Amino acid sequence: MITKPKKQPKHGMLENVMRQFNHAADIINLNSNIRKILTITNNELIIHFPVKMDNGEIEVFTGYRVQHNNALGPYKGGLRYHPTVDIDAAKALAMWMTWKTSLAGLPYGGAKGGIQIDPFKYSITELERITRRFTYALGDNIGPEHDIPAPDVNTNAQTMAWILDTYMSTKPPTERSKNQHVVTGKPIGSGGSEGRDRATGYGVFLNIKFWSERKKVSLKRKKFIVQGFGNVGYWAAHFLENEGALLVGVQDAYGSIANSDGIMVAELFNYSQQNKGSILNFPNASAFENSDFFGLECDICIPAALGNQITTNNADRIKAFLIAEGANGPTDVEGEEILLKKGIGVIPDILCNSGGVIGSYFEWLQNRNGEIWQMDEVMAKLDKKMKEVFDKVYDKAEKTNGDMRTAAFVIAIERIEKAYVQRGIFP
């Protein structure tokens, strides 16, 4: 069994998102001044901050927050704790957030950030101090009506609760309760919303379902594989299994497992919870080489881990008829060209994983309005919104005889372009 963490992908996401943007901008002949604005990020913050470790030593960490564009509303996007977080990764991920929130019709711009850290090397008390010091250092560069972080890779509701508490403690007592929506993805008891935990994975599932309905394909007994069995991968697998599909392969940071007869999602989840979040050595599946993962026999493939996973190295070996991008930027431009040539459907990240930020928007609205929505209400609203956005993208791709990513980018960019033009900046 493979026991060492996998080699992480090289950075290249910034180049990827820029190529995706420029391709769509060329197609719509985007106003050159607006293109200039959207090509750069508004603000880039790099923070070096010291934290006392459990052994009394000081360690200095590097955190990032990049705010790409806020033409449509406050900056919005997650915080990632991972060794690959750097300024280029944060810029790329912030840009994808701008296109995602615009495509979803939300009143938000795009941002992203995080800390360059392997969180598994630190104790929970150290992670709390690191998060609090980072929040303190960010100061009013975040804020409920300015820039609203949320969970991403290796951050969760607990991380958001620490950020909320630290941010609130910097405000006068009379202001504190007005700041609950400075982060989303909080625990339910601290202003979090029902359904936000599953919103991204549920959105991935819905996109697969809507796509299959359009193609008149049943999901019953369809085999699927998932890369990344964290928040997004687990919930997407859970909902797909409920629909009758069969999980046959999983890869996480530690290794790959497969069983062509099916892996029970709940069993694997319970196992990974007791195994420090890893699927390694799961008894009801066999381990195999990481490099063979995307070549597994299956119908649907869900990359739900990091960027640049489907590339020229493996795209031609993919057997699935559909790629549903749970992760941000999992497919690079050349990889996608190969997939499209092979006739494989690709539901692009800015559509496929947008259930998360839509769920965050619902949380933010509840906090702002002093409301508490029930789970069924949240899920019904998410369903409705995802269907609207999916239909827009699918119809546009069909009408223009193009791919869904280009269609999604065109819709997203045109909405921002319209906002700039309406304000009279670019007559």
Ligand X SMILES: NC(=O)C1=CN([C@@H]2O[C@H](COP(=O)(O)OP(=O)(O)OC[C@H]3O[C@@H](n4cnc5c(N)ncnc54)[C@H](O)[C@@H]3O)[C@@H](O)[C@H]2O)C=CC1
List the catalytic residues.
112
Stretch that binds ligand X, among 24-32, 113-121, 147-155, 361-369 (CB under 6 A): 147-155
* Cβ 357 to ligand AKG shortest distance, Å: 4
In the window 4-33, what residues touch ligand X (CB under 6 A)? Answer: 6, 8
Q: Residue 76 binds which entry of ligand AKG, ligand X, none, with Cβ cut-offs from 5 to 8 Å by kind?
A: ligand AKG
Nearer to ligand X, 25 or 298 (CB): 298
- Number of residues near ligand X (by CB under 6 A): 25
* Cβ 376 to ligand X shortest distance, Å: 20
Q: Is residue 231 close enough to count as binding ligand X by CB under 6 A?
A: yes
Q: Residue 229 binds which entry of ligand AKG, ligand X, none, with Cβ cut-offs from 5 to 8 Å by kind?
A: ligand X
Nearer to ligand AKG, 183 or 268 (CB): 183
Q: Helices then strands (H, E): number in the chain?
A: 13, 12
293, 345, 349: which is closest to 323 by C-alpha? 345
* Cβ 326 to ligand X shortest distance, Å: 5
155, 199, 159, 192: which is closest to 353 by C-alpha? 199
Q: Are 279 and 272 in contact (CB under 8 A)?
A: yes
Stretch that binds ligand X, among 16-24, 186-194, 303-311, 413-421 (CB under 6 A): 303-311
Q: Is residue 212 close enough to count as binding ligand X by CB under 6 A?
A: no
Question: Over 368-413, what HEC string results?
Answer: HHCCCCCHHHHHHHHHHHHHHHHHHHHHHHHHCCCCHHHHHHHHHH
Q: Is residue 311 close enough to count as binding ligand X by CB under 6 A?
A: no
The tokens for 215 are 């193609």
* Cβ 66 to ligand X shortest distance, Å: 14
H or E segment at 114? Answer: strand 110-115
Stretch that binds ligand X, among 124-132, 246-254, 263-271, 334-342 (CB under 6 A): 246-254
Would you list the DSSP string of 241-268? HHTT-EEEEEEETTEEEE-TT---HHHH
* Cβ 360 to ligand AKG shortest distance, Å: 3
Nearer to ligand X, 144 or 326 (CB): 326
Q: Residue 77 binds which entry of ligand X, ligand AKG, none, with Cβ cut-offs from 5 to 8 Å by kind?
A: ligand AKG
Phi and psi torsions of 189, nearest 5°:
-70, -10
Q: Are 62 and 89 in contact (CB under 8 A)?
A: no
User: Using CB under 6 A, which of 138, 245, 305, 404 touches ligand X?
Assistant: 305
Query: By rule CB under 6 A, what string of x and - marks binding of each residue 102-141 to ligand X?
Result: ----------------------------------------
The CA distances from residue 99 to 18, 75, 92, 288, 313, in Å, are: 12, 12, 11, 36, 27
**Euclidean distance between CA atoms 53 and 340, whole angstroms:** 49
Nearer to ligand X, 329 or 417 (CB): 329
By beta-carbon distance, which residue lies closest to ligand X? 230
Q: Is residue 195 close enough to count as binding ligand X by CB under 6 A?
A: no
Q: Is residue 338 close enough to count as binding ligand X by CB under 6 A?
A: no
For the chain, what is the radius of gyration of the CA atoms?
Answer: 21
**Euclidean distance between CA atoms 12 and 313, whole angstroms:** 15
Would you list the DSSP string of 324-350? E--SSS-B-HHHHHHHHHTT-EEE-HH
**Euclidean distance between CA atoms 181 and 383, whole angstroms:** 23
Classify strands 255-258 and 286-288 as parallel, antiparallel or unpaired: antiparallel
Q: Are 41 and 109 in contact (CB under 8 A)?
A: no
Q: Residue 68 binds which entry of ligand X, ligand AKG, none, with Cβ cut-offs from 5 to 8 Å by kind?
A: none
Q: Is residue 151 close enough to count as binding ligand X by CB under 6 A?
A: yes
Stretch that binds ligand X, among 26-34, 57-65, 149-157, 366-374 (CB under 6 A): 149-157
Q: Residue 326 binds which entry of ligand AKG, ligand X, none, with Cβ cut-offs from 5 to 8 Å by kind?
A: ligand X
Nearer to ligand AKG, 133 or 181 (CB): 181
**Euclidean distance between CA atoms 209 and 207, whole angstroms:** 5
Binding residues for ligand AKG, rule: CB under 6 A, are 76-78, 100, 150, 152, 184-185, 328, 353, 356-357, 360
Q: Return residues touching ligand X (CB under 6 A).
A: 6, 8, 151-154, 200, 227-233, 251-253, 304-306, 326-328, 353, 356
